[in-house]
Chain A
Amino acid sequence: MSDTQGRGCTSSDAGKPMIGIYDFSYVPYALGDALTWTMNLNVSAVSAGCDAIDQYLVIDPWKPGSRYQPFVTPLNYVSIIDNLFPAFLCSPMLRSLKLFRHLPGFNLFLLREVMRRRPMWPSFFSHLNKKFDFFSHRRINAFYDEHGYLPWLTAPRGYGAWADGFRRTHCGGRFVVAVNIRQGALSLTPAELVRDSPLPEWHAFIRRVTTRHPDVLFLILGGYTEWDREVYRLPNVLIPRAMGFGLGHELALLHRADLFMGSSSGFAAMATFCNKPYVLTNIQHLFSQYIDVPVGGRHYPFGNETQILYWEKENQDVLLEFFEELHARVREKSAP
């Protein structure tokens, strides 16, 4: 599979660049937000007629986090940005990525881009005000309404070929389901535990699928602390983090998987914006207003019949039902 799939242009020398600014003083360190931001950037770039993206990540090392993330301090921000870095490599138009931890240096670049009237997302004014809508799907939906397609995300730069190799070596032609079961309670920075998914239901679901479809292989995604020890005992399961791999590898594997199933969280954003077949569970009702889908709506405006939203807390029966439906559809679609 190509890493430049979709209709977004690819980077090339001397392309017309879009400037992306991710300033951590007002945008959070979060996988889902970073991926949604990248998708918004893709959409903005194509809308502005750009065929390349220059990304700027900006951190003030003395005050590295926003007021919503006071746990990010000068002593731990390096770990946190390092853990998130691969999320910024998922745009096929990416031609440069710059990290500034020196505000005068960044501001000089910023003024240069402003003087050149380069298209920028967020706009210069929004950046100055430190207020803009980076988390909603408003811009993405509008683009889809107008053009009928989206410039999708892809595997992180440099990881696509590796993921192909992993599938050949470890998956042996099986039907691969990438799974992320949100467990904020087990994460290093616990937050919004109400969004966590019920682990026993997922474990039972995986056991039942394995009995019915022994050719299915589950890849359990998420930080090393975030999955339960029982996962080791489940059949037909691989855990990339326990095999020495990191977030870049996981995002690439998700991009190459046949299906994604998981709670509404960071990995779900990747599945949503790289056009995978998916089931996203336990979606917060509050989220409805930001994605322009009524509570209970089955698809995103840009989603198709293999891309399903489920607004309630999942159980094994629901998961199995969705799996059977999507497994059949995807198999049918990929049949020669």
Chain B
Amino acid sequence: MKMESKVVLLGRWLISFTSRVLRRLGFFPFTLFYVVINATVGQFPWWWGRIVLRVGEVAGEATALPRSVMLWLERVLTGPVAYRYHVCLRLPREATDANLHEVFSILLTFPRLRSVGLYWDSSSLTDDLSLLQAKQDRNDPATWATSYEDLGSLSFKQLQEFFQSNHEGIVLPVAATRDAQTLLKRQAGGAYAVCLNLPEELRSLADALVATRPDVRFFDLAPYASPPAAGAANSQSLFGYGLNLYDRMALAQAADAYVGNFDEVGCAALVSGRPTVLLGGGTGEQPDQVNRGDSAVWFPGPVESTALAKAVLQFLSRQLGPAEN
């Protein structure tokens, strides 16, 4: 071991030991020493890892902000393991959708985030940025250049990049994952379970899937379960179950396949590597269908319902095997 490494290790041990002792004492003036030492050593990348700052801004209306934030973080929180991230979000005072709680939920699924700042005021953000930027590693231009990103709207290209890229993965709370596994175990047993999350205009697709695949159990997250699908023995509406965003994402990850919106739940399914069919989300000029190997397919724009049902059924047959008659 090099002499330099030994010095760093010894320094770490000494600071860590001192911090632990001061923290354990837990009262003034030891807590003051702890705060000062802690804030000081936090400045050094060799101690806490490199600090990287990311700033997102919602300039106008953002109708799908949780998804936008998730895609953004997936893209910008990539770097060596030692990197630690601070994220700032500049938000409008008046939101289009009441989804700030879900944005917060999404932020917490990224374990490499060390702090999250939500700002409804420019001066406050500017003030904090000056401090956070000073903590970044000045020798690394990639991290030093703090760029603002508009999270208001997502282009087809951005969605496609997310769809095709490799994902580091999000970490859901263990309770959500456990409860989703338990629910599927109890309700589906050994049968294949497919999570449905379709918009109202595609309810006929749910009906077609449920009728054509009686061997598969469908778990429907949509708020508008159509009567035929809801009444079928192999379909179950989960809308009234009071599931929060973590529960829904965990369910999408625990099921054997996901068919539904390209929203944050769909993103969770894709990130987990489960067979996934994503629908909608595209704008402007776009292909009818985008594939990600054999495991995922995305229909960005509107597709004629019969053709869509056929394509989705073929996909499920490939992933789960053909229907048992």
Contacts and interface: CB of A to CB of B under 8 A. Distances in A.
B175 A98 contact: no
Interface string A5-41: 0000001111101000000000000000000000000
B112 to A, nearest CB: 11
Given A159-B98, A248-B101, A13 B26 contact: no
A105 B43 CA distance: 8
A249 B98 contact: yes
Contact of A54 (B113, B124, B246): B124
A82 B100 contact: no
B105 interface: yes
Nearest to A73: B174
A289 to B, nearest CB: 25
Interface string A71-107: 0000110110111011001000011111111111111
Interface string B272-301: 000000000000000000000000000000
A105 B118 contact: no
A9 B242 CA distance: 36
A305 B113 CA distance: 48
Interface stretch (A123-131, A200-208, A274-282, A316-324): A123-131
Interface SS of chain A: helix
Question: Which size class do B's interface residues fall under?
Answer: 35 or more
Contact of B35 (A96, A110, A224): A110
Given A13-B122, A224-B242, A102 B175 contact: no
Contacts of B239: 244
Contacts, number: 157
A68 to B, nearest CB: 14
Residue in A79, A241, A243, A246 with the greatest tally of chain B CB atoms within 10 Å: A79
Given A79-B173, A109-B131, A158-B98, A128 B114 contact: no
Given A107-B39, A108-B42, A130 B31 contact: yes
A101 to B, nearest CB: 6
A100 to B, nearest CB: 5
B45 to A, nearest CB: 12
B8 interface: no
Residue in A76, A105, A110, A159 with the greatest tally of chain B CB atoms within 10 Å: A105
A200 to B, nearest CB: 23
A129 B176 contact: no
A129 B27 contact: yes
Contacts of A107: 35-36, 38-39, 42
Contacts of B39: 104, 107-108, 110-111
A191 interface: no
B125 A96 contact: yes
Question: Which size class do A's interface residues fall under?
Answer: 35 or more
A129 B116 contact: no
A181 interface: no
Interface string B77-95: 0000000101000010111
A242 B242 contact: yes
Contact of B115 (A14, A82, A105): A105
Interface in A228-259: 241-244, 246-249, 252
Contacts of B240: 242-243
Contacts of A266: none
B223 A244 contact: yes
B38 A79 contact: no
Nearest to A104: B42
B58 to A, nearest CB: 11
B120 interface: yes
A159 B99 CA distance: 8
B187 interface: no
Contact of A95 (B48, B120, B135): B120
A99 B115 CA distance: 6
B101 A100 contact: no
Contact of A89 (B100, B128, B174, B176): B100
23 contacts: A12-B121, A17-B124, A52-B124, A79-B173, A94-B120, A95-B121, A96-B121, A98-B116, A99-B115, A101-B114, A104-B42, A105-B42, A110-B39, A111-B35, A128-B32, A129-B27, A130-B26, A156-B101, A161-B94, A242-B240, A248-B100, A248-B101, A252-B98
Given A112-B131, A130-B31, 11 more contacts: A76-B174, A96-B120, A97-B117, A98-B117, A98-B128, A101-B115, A105-B51, A108-B42, A108-B43, A157-B120, A244-B243
Closest 5 CB pairs of A and B: A104-B42, A224-B242, A102-B114, A162-B98, A107-B39
